[in-house]
Amino acid sequence: MGSKRPANRGQKRAEKTKARQRRHQQSRPAPTGAVTERIADLIDGFVEWLDESEMSEQSEAISRLVSSTLTQLAGARQGFSPSAWLPADAHLLVDAAERILQEESDTAEDTAVNLVLTSLQYLTFLDETDLWDGSPEDYAHCMEDLSDFLEGDEPDMLDADDIDLPDVSLAQELAAISALPLLPALDDIVARVADGLAVGDNADLQRAVGSAPLDPARLDAGAAADYWSTAIATELIRIDGDTARPGDNAHSLAGRGAETVHELVAEHVRVQLSGDADDPDVSRSLANTFAVQTLLAAMTDELPINNEGEDYAELEGEDLRTAQLIDHRVRSLIEQGILVRIEEVLAVPHALRPAVLDGVAEAQPFGVIDEESQDDPLYGSVGDPASS
């Protein structure tokens, strides 16, 4: 997973970013068709194309990432066509990859390169199957921009299927899960809503049920909200209007059954690493993507480096927020005991890996689109620093 990039990579990247900002902003009319349905149709064809290629073993992972990428572009670029990209669409994608690349770690680079590499594969698919319906000039421009970013560097793409789980008994798994702060936190939540708890009376519960972007200034409070989100997702509690009450599964927590606690850990991981496609927060989704790759790498022989305490003094705006969210998510997983420090690297404890892997496999960092309408674009212009 090491870097093979040339020494002048940073200078080239800066020059290209400035060049993109100087280009004339492009626009197109609002979409008239169901973009979501079009994306789904194209992804189906993309999977078939991958299955017939040398990338067949990774077709599911590649297609899932491309589907998320197209969904984000559709939300960020008004009138986006998944089969007729404009150069501005490629610029937005490259800017997002550059943002991930700010994290100087092997996992960050792999995540960024995967984002661009899979998009190149998708554009190649459109060309080879005659599904591209944009201009030849735009196609060449997009391919050139994405290829320039890669400069021939291909990463190892980690997916849940790549992980070989150790032999873990139910007793070992139950003991490891019982030692986590998760179960006591859920016990406390269920007890607090026993007689009904007004949502407005608890800030963490408000964050769990709300849609406000996570404020970097309140990152330390975000971990507690994750426990509330897990309690809601597993139906330990339910939201009845403006009041939280015990849910249908509240009684199952006391029994501490092996299957029950396994599912609680898996769902807790999934909840933390999944975005909301109906209310996108791209920086948070990028942080989730980074965390997914970190957890997967932490279950391999090539453990990821622990980058806690990095200096972000040179970053500002959305770049700084993305870096802070990445740092917060990894630190939170460490505090929860899901990741542990081993000298300078991070690992998922062996007995936790079955449950953690189940959660990672179901995580959707950019969320799942189930609405046809995406009328509100995420960003106003490609030149805006928040547009990636």
- Of the given ranges (51-55, 90-94, 147-151, 332-336), which has the lowest mean pLDDT? 147-151
Element containing residue 255 per DSSP (H, E): helix 250-255
How far is 240 from 103, CA to CA, in rounded Å? 41
The mean pLDDT value for 196-217 works out to 77
Reported confidence tier of residue 317, pLDDT bands at 50, 70, 90: confident
Answer with the residue of higher pLDDT: 313 or 196: 196
The mean pLDDT value for 353-367 works out to 92
Residue 71 CB neighbours (<10 A): 24
pLDDT at 106 over 80: no
Structure tokens at 11: 């200078």
- Mean pLDDT of all residues in the chain? 80
Structure tokens at 220: 């330390």
Task: Read off the pLDDT of residues 61-88 as tens digits, 9 standing for 90 and up.
Answer: 899 999 999 988 988 877 889 999 998 8
pLDDT at 183 over 90: yes
Residue 69's closest CA among 95, 45, 51, 49? Answer: 95
pLDDT of residue 298: 96
How far is 109 from 98, CA to CA, in rounded Å? 9
Residue 46's closest CA among 119, 150, 136, 112? Answer: 119
pLDDT at 337 over 90: yes
Residue 34 CB neighbours (<10 A): 13
pLDDT of residue 295: 97
State the chain's maximal CA–CA distance in angstroms.
64
Spatial neighbors of 202 by CB under 8 A, at least 6 apart, are: 192, 228, 244
The mean pLDDT value for 27-35 works out to 49
pLDDT at 153 over 90: no
pLDDT of residue 215: 59
Spatial contact of 156 and 3, defined as CB atoms under 8 Å apart: no
Residue 346, strand partner residues:
341
User: Percent of the chain, pLDDT > 90?
Assistant: 45
Residue 198, strand partner residues:
243
- What pTM did the predictor assign? 0.59
Burial class of residue 207 in the structure, from the number of CB atoms within 10 Å of its CB (0-12 exposed, 13-18 middle, 19+ buried): buried
Q: Rank 29-43, 263-277, 312-326 by mean pLDDT and report only the highest.
A: 263-277
SS3 100: helix
pLDDT of residue 383: 31
In this structure, is the dihedral angle defined by the CA atoms of residues 69, 74, 80 and 86, taken in order, positive or negative?
A: negative
pLDDT of residue 232: 95
The mean pLDDT value for 253-259 works out to 89
pLDDT of residue 216: 55
Q: In which order are the strands placed within the sheet that holds 237-240? A: 197-198, 243-246, 237-240
Residue 278's closest CA among 152, 356, 367? Answer: 367
pLDDT of residue 113: 87
Strands (E), the chain: 197-198, 237-240, 243-246, 340-342, 345-347
The mean pLDDT value for 278-286 works out to 76
pLDDT of residue 372: 39
- Of the given ranges (10-24, 278-292, 320-334), which has the lowest mean pLDDT? 10-24
Reported confidence tier of residue 148, pLDDT bands at 50, 70, 90: confident
Q: Rank 19-28, 33-42, 158-167 by mean pLDDT and report only the highest.
A: 158-167
